[in-house]
């Protein structure tokens, strides 16, 4: 198992590793802290994410809600086909910026 991580570099928030129910809360909080310190539009790069799980969608929705509260643009890119399919099955692809364009 690859430990999950989130790192901010410039205007890109990169998510890597395997996220599951045991690790998602700490990762979500870390991402929220990074989003809170960022200014300007952010892109969340999901290409290094090794898992497609409903808890990942929940985390992304939490980050999106925080960005909306800050009136900050947040777009997701690099999601796997499995994560995109999971979002579509959950009717969430229109709620997560960057997911609907892949439908």
Whether 43 contacts 13, CB under 8 Å: yes
Architecture of the domain delimited by 5-102: 2-Layer Sandwich (3.30)
Phi, psi of 49, rounded to the nearest 5 degrees: -75, 130
Q: What percent of the chain has pLDDT over 90?
A: 92
Task: Indicate the average pLDDT of the chain.
Answer: 94
Q: Please state the domain extents for the chain.
A: 5-102
H or E stretch at 29: helix 24-37
Res. 102 pLDDT band, cuts 50 70 90: low
Residue 103 has pLDDT above 80, yes or no: no
Residue 69 has pLDDT above 60, yes or no: yes
Q: Give CA–CA dist 41/82, Å, rounded.
A: 26
Tens of pLDDT, residue by residue over 2-24, are: 899 999 999 999 999 999 999 99
Total-model pTM: 0.93
């Amino acid at each position: 198992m690859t430990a999950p991580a989130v790192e901010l570099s410039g205007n890109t928030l990169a998510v890597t590793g395997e996220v599951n129910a045991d690790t998602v809360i700490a990762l979500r909080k870390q991402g929220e802290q990074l989003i809170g310190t960022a200014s300007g539009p952010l892109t969340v790069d999901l290409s290094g994410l090794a898992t497609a799980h409903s808890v990942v969608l929940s985390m992304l929705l939490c980050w999106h809600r925080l960005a909306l509260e800050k009136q900050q643009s947040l777009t997701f890119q690099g999601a796997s086909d499995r994560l995109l399919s999971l979002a579509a099955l959950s009717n969430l692809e229109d709620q997560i910026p960057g997911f609907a364009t892949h439908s």
